[in-house]
Each structure stands twice: as C-alpha cells, then as structure tokens.
Amino acid sequence: MKKSEFLLIKKKYSDNIDDYIEKGGFSSLRKILSDHISPEEIIEEVKKSGLRGRGGAGFYTGLKWSFVPRDRSIKKFLICNADEGEPGTFKDRDILLYAPYLLIEGMIIASYAIGAEVSYIYLRKEYKWLLNRLEKAIGEVQEKGFLGEKILKSDFSHRIKIFMGAGAYICGEETALLESMEGKKGFPRLKPPYPATFGLFGYPTVVNNVETLANIPIIVEMGGENYAKIGIPKSTGTRLIALSGIVKKKGVYEVEHGKVTLKEIINDFGNGVKEGYHLLGVIPGGVSAPPLTYDELDISYDFESLAEKGTMTGSGAVIVFGYKEDKKGELLKILESIVHFFKDESCGKCTPCREGTWAIYGILEKIKNKEILVRDGVEMISSLNSKIKGLCACPLGESCALVSEAFLKKFEDILK
Ligand code: SF4
C-alpha cells in the first residue's frame, strides 16, 4: 500500500452482490430495520459524522436531510446525482462501476432517513453504457429482499428508478436537474425555496452525490463519532480523487482528508509528472476550482485548507498541468478550453453569465493575438466578474470569471 493510501469506500468495492453481502454488505440496512433504529437517529448519526457533500458545494449531509419535513403524510424523494459532468471528474463512475451495491444500500438508508418511498439515480447521458449494469444491480438487490415492498419484513418499502440525463452539464446543478426530471428545460431555479422543502414536482427532495451516498452504509456501520475521527474536524472521512493531466499514473485514488498534500498526490499516487514536462500547477477540484501554482502544492487536501487559498476540493478532480520547454505558449490553450466549456454549457437563463462567458472567451482571444497584455485581460475579467457575481441563478458564470482571472494572474510570467 502506498504511503498516503487510505481505503474506506474502496474497501467496500464489489461488483458482485453475493461477494458484497459476504463482505458485510447490507448489514447496515439490516441493523437499522431489525433494531428499529428511527429515521431521526440515522440523521443524527450522519450529522455526528460531519459528512459533507462530495459533489462540489460541500454542504453538511445530515443538516441537509434534517431540513426535510418530518410529516409522514407528505411524499418525498431522494435523488442520487450521477450527472458527473465537470471536466476531469470521473470518480463517481468508479463507484457506479465497481461499487453499485454500496451506492444502492446508501440510497435505501438515506431514503429511510428522510421518508422517501421512491428514489432516482439521475445518470448522465454519457454514462448510458452503465444503465443496464445498474438496472441489473437494482433487480438483484430486490431479489435478495433489500428493496421493494416491506423490506426485510419491516414497514419500510422502497423502489429505485433510473432517470437518464440528456447531456447538459448544468443539470448537475440540483435544481436544474429537478427541472429536467419534470420535463422542462434544465434551468437552475432561483433559491429559496430549496429542494428540501420544494423539490421534484414540488415535493420535499434531497439530492445527494454518488460518493456522498456511498459513505452512508459505512457511517451506519462504524457510527458517526468514529467516522468523524477519520480526516480532520471540518473535513471528515476520505475523498475519492480523479487524478489526471501530466502525471505518469492517472486514476481514481482514495485519500484521507487533511492527511495528504497535493504534492504527495502527484508523487505518491501519480508517480510524478511525465518526462520532459515542467510542473506548473494543479486545478484541485474540477475546472470550477481556481488553480494553484507549484509553490502552493504543499497544501493539505481538504475543504478548509483549499478554501483558505481561494479554491476548493469541488468535484474531486485533480488536474495536474504544465508544459514542455518548447511549448510554453500552449498554456493559454488550457484556459481557453476551460472557458470554451463554460460558454458552451452556460444555459443562457441569466444575461450576465450568458454574455459574460463569451466576453471572457473574447478577452483570451485578444491575449492570444497579442492585441492586449495579460495584465489588461485580468482587469477586464475582474470588472466583468463584478457584474456577474451574485446576479445569477447558479455559480457557473462566476466560476468562469474567477478561474480565468486566477489563471492569468498566477501564470502571467509564462503567458506574456
Ligand atoms: S449562471 Fe449561467 S448557467 Fe447558471 S443559470 Fe445563469 S445562465 Fe444558466
């Protein structure tokens, strides 16, 4: 085992139901139902665990669940957000592929906690090849009696369905996801109200990321307090990271929050950078996360440390970038492709974002053609951001401006 490797979720990986059960799979669900553990107690355990969402925003999961009205007569939904569309992010795919039963068990427990009789996996269009596999897994879980009517002879019944996305990045935003499930355009909603009180078709709904839900059976098994001892106080548990870019060994790795630095991730997991490349920096949490320079890579990988540096763990995509000696100019291409992505995926609902992302792309063109200095570009983007920030229904436009500004500022010497 590598120095920094810490397996918590990966220890539960199993793509065969009998093997999963043999390894203790579904024992958390069994324990809840046979010991009559109440939904409130489960929510309390998840709160104690300090689990934060692994999709991007990092909101406390137990707290999110506690906002759902307890009234049992009101219909509720749980949605597993498997619309993993942030460039560089492929860690949820690992769970869908290698740990579907762990995810399903997490979904059943989460649904029990919030009182949902039906839950959905919102699967991104590009993962359609996983549809049959997931449907088969759901069927197998039902055959074993862990899904369906009166699970394990308890009063709790549950069904899981799969909803296919249509290929829009913005539908990874939870309210755009809900709109698309209702058959409407995938536009983010203005908030409040939040989905916990007004979600799918107006019913209270919890939307949780794949990795977040995969943590739930583990928390029930070990107890919230014990789970909270892993990692550090405000970043508990582990994190699956999707490592890519100029490292020698790309892949999905699991790290303990707060115990591993970005440099260790590159060297220990990625086996260092490829021959002939100069390591310049890292995008630490998907392209919505502002980059860090080489000098900033001794930073611990956790929610708080990255936030202090003005960036985030985001979607867990660690993209390592640099250049070959004779190709320094190609650095701008990285930023161009990020902004190109944002301008293409802006849903167009808010004018500042719709127009602003195109304007930022235009500024980069001007830098590339030497019509303006990098420094002028930074000022122009910063001024644009003041007209985007806080004026849009979701953070996409603002992320585009922040990432572009940080990139140009931090790597001005290389880019000019
Ligand atoms: S900020 Fe952009 S992506 Fe988000 S809702 Fe507005 S237009 Fe759509």
Residue pLDDT, tens place only, 104-135: 999 999 999 999 999 999 999 999 999 999 99
**C-beta of 400 in contact with ligand 1 (< 6 A):** no
Q: Whose CA is nearest to atom 3 of ligand 1?
A: 346
Q: Is the pLDDT of residue 150 over 70?
A: yes
Q: Is the pLDDT of residue 138 over 70?
A: yes
- Section 7-30 average pLDDT: 96
Q: Is the pLDDT of residue 2 over 60?
A: no
- Section 86-94 average pLDDT: 96
The whole-number pLDDT of residue 414 equals: 84
**C-beta of 186 in contact with ligand 1 (< 6 A):** no
- Distance between Cα 173 and ligand 1 center (Å): 10
Ligand 1 atom at minimal distance to the Cα of residue 394: 4
- Section 10-24 average pLDDT: 95
Q: Which amino acid is at 264?
A: E
- Distance between Cα 55 and ligand 1 center (Å): 18
Q: Which of 350, 385, 399, 402 to mutate to test the pocket of ligand 1 (most atoms within 8 A of CB)?
A: 350
The whole-number pLDDT of residue 161 equals: 98
Tokens of 303: 């929610």
Q: Is the pLDDT of residue 327 over 80?
A: no
Residue pLDDT, tens place only, 194-208: 999 999 999 999 999
Least confident of 264-273, 276-285, 317-326: 317-326
Query: Three-state SS string across the chain, please?
Result: CCCCECCCCHHHCCCCHHHHHHCCCCHHHHHHHHCCCCHHHHHHHHHHHCCECCCCCCCEHHHHHHCCCCCCCCCCEEEEEECCCCCCCCHHHHHHHHCHHHHHHHHHHHHHHHCCCEEEEEECHHHHHHHHHHHHHHHHHHHCCCCECCHHHCCCCEEEEEEECCCCHHHHCHHHHHHHHCCCCCCCCCCCCCCCCCCHHHCCEEEEEHHHHHCHHHHHHHCHHHHHCCEECCEECEEEEEEEECECCCEEEEEECCCCEHHHHHHHHCCCECCCEEEEEEECCCCCCCCEEHHHCCCECCHHHHHHCCCCCCCCEEEEEEEEHHHHHHHHHHHHHHHHHHHHHCCCCCHHHHHHHHHHHHHHHHHHCCCCCHHHHHHHHHHHHHHHCCCCCCCHHHHHHHHHHHHHHHCHHHHC
Residue pLDDT, tens place only, 344-393: 999 999 999 999 999 999 999 999 999 999 999 999 999 999 999 888 99
**C-beta of 396 in contact with ligand 1 (< 6 A):** yes
The whole-number pLDDT of residue 5 equals: 78
- Distance between Cα 332 and ligand 1 center (Å): 25
Rounded CA-CA distance 55/92 in Å is 9
- Section 144-165 average pLDDT: 97
Q: What is the pTM of this model?
A: 0.95
Q: Is the pLDDT of residue 164 over 90?
A: yes
The whole-number pLDDT of residue 57 equals: 87
Q: What angle do CA 395, 399, 404 make, to 5 degrees?
A: 165
Residue pLDDT, tens place only, 168-221: 999 999 999 999 999 999 999 999 999 999 999 999 999 999 999 999 999 999
- Distance between Cα 344 and ligand 1 center (Å): 11
**C-beta of 392 in contact with ligand 1 (< 6 A):** yes
Q: How confident is the model at residue 3 (pLDDT cuts 50, 70, 90)?
A: low
- Distance between Cα 204 and ligand 1 center (Å): 23
